Amino acid sequence: MKACLGVDVGSVTTKLALLDESDELVSHVYLLTQGRPIDAVQQGLRDIRKQLPQDVDINGVATTGSARYLAGVIVGADLVKNEITTHAVAALHYYPDVQTIIEIGGQDSKLTVVRDGIVIDFAMNTVCAAGTGSFLDHQALRLDMSIQELSQRALTSQTPVRIAGRCTVFAESDMVHKQQMGYRVEDILYGLCQALVRNYLGNVGLGKELEPPIIFQGGVAFNQAIVRAFREELDTEVIVPIHHEVMGAIGAALMAHEEMATNNGISQFKGFEQSEVKYHASSFECKACPNRCEVAEISQDGQTLARWGGRCDMWERVSSTQLYSSEEIK
């Protein structure tokens, strides 16, 4: 079986998706990044391999998400794509007539406007992370409940209380205040969900035309209370795709397929064995100029595979070690 693999390494979760030649989803995995993207990718490769038949032949690999360059080095990516594009590609694949894509992940929230099957505008949260998955996680933890429980209980609310959603700090103090006034936890939780949706629409969605069909994807779409709040606020149907949490990885796999088909190339995929290789990630401060860039490097068996993080390309070419007497500037 020929297949394409998409790897999406986000701030909180890592997603892998495998599509066959007719772009059907064969299998996918969804696991926590836990601040260790290399381990997460390797674990993901291990997990997805278990679900696959022996004869699978990887024809193309693409990585996406905030750790896309790092993941790209580990798996040997044919294509490294930003998560805005991959999410749009996946949504358009399943819903060709989509006009609006809402995507909320661990630390980012994005809005993509599509007309006639073409992305015409997008926005991403700027300085504020209010309304992303991390904040909901944090609030669930504070109330000593799982994120699933938060979603379930918020759904039962009949008379939500108003919570300020402009800023996570204010939202939290507002919630504490409302708790101490004696409001029901369910109503406070749903009030929080509404506040996050309002904040999203007023921040990321500012000045954008949100026309239906609206697709809601990303990890936060698991939260039925947020989905309900979006439906009520927008007063329209909000579609949550079945595989909403791996849409980025699916989009990456679709783009890998497209890329390999147009270029007729041979995949750079390093094989599932990469999950057993020991990688070593480290960083150093370059002293070549006053910028003092923090250069990160990833190596395997003492051999540097890639470096990034520098303002110039001095370290990005791997062979730089020979060009510069590294002891002096490292």
Residues that bind other proteins (CB under 8 A): 66, 81-85, 117-122, 124, 126-127, 207, 289-294, 311
Within 10 Å of residue 211's Cβ, how many Cβ atoms? 13
Contacts of 259 (CB under 8 A, 6+ apart): 60, 62, 78, 79, 265
The single-letter code of the amino acid at 287 is: K
- Answer whether 198's CB lies under 8 Å from 174's CB: no
Ramachandran bin of 258, using left for φ above 0, alpha for ψ from -120 to 50, beta for the remaining angles: alpha
Q: How far is the CB of 118 from other proteins (least distance, A)?
A: 5
Q: How far is the CB of 155 from other proteins (least distance, A)?
A: 33
SS3 state at 57 = strand
Work out whether the CA dihedral 126, 66, 133, 37 comes out positive or negative: negative
SS3 state at 9 = strand
Give whichever of 127 and 242 is closer to other proteins, judged by the CB atom: 127
Q: How far is the CB of 219 from other proteins (least distance, A)?
A: 18
- Answer whether 41's CB lies under 8 Å from 272's CB: no
For residue 113, the cross-strand partners are 100, 121
CA distances from 239 to 114, 221, 231, 235 (A): 15, 10, 9, 13
Q: How far is the CB of 312 from other proteins (least distance, A)?
A: 9
Give whichever of 69 and 279 is closer to other proteins, judged by the CB atom: 69
- Answer whether 104's CB lies under 8 Å from 133's CB: yes
Q: How far is the CB of 211 from other proteins (least distance, A)?
A: 13
Q: How far is the CB of 8 from other proteins (least distance, A)?
A: 13
Give whichever of 175 and 249 is closer to other proteins, judged by the CB atom: 249
Q: How far is the CB of 10 from other proteins (least distance, A)?
A: 12
Give whichever of 262 and 319 is closer to other proteins, judged by the CB atom: 262
Contacts of 126 (CB under 8 A, 6+ apart): 203
Give whichever of 118 and 181 is closer to other proteins, judged by the CB atom: 118
SS3 state at 129 = coil
Q: How far is the CB of 62 from other proteins (least distance, A)?
A: 13
Give whichever of 268 and 291 is closer to other proteins, judged by the CB atom: 291
Q: How far is the CB of 111 from other proteins (least distance, A)?
A: 12
Give whichever of 28 and 81 is closer to other proteins, judged by the CB atom: 81
* Distance between first and last Cα of the chain: 47
Give whichever of 182 and 290 is closer to other proteins, judged by the CB atom: 290
Give whichever of 115 and 162 is closer to other proteins, judged by the CB atom: 115
CA distances from 144 to 75, 141, 163, 193 (A): 38, 5, 19, 17
> In whole angstroms, how large is the CA radius of gyration of the chain?
22
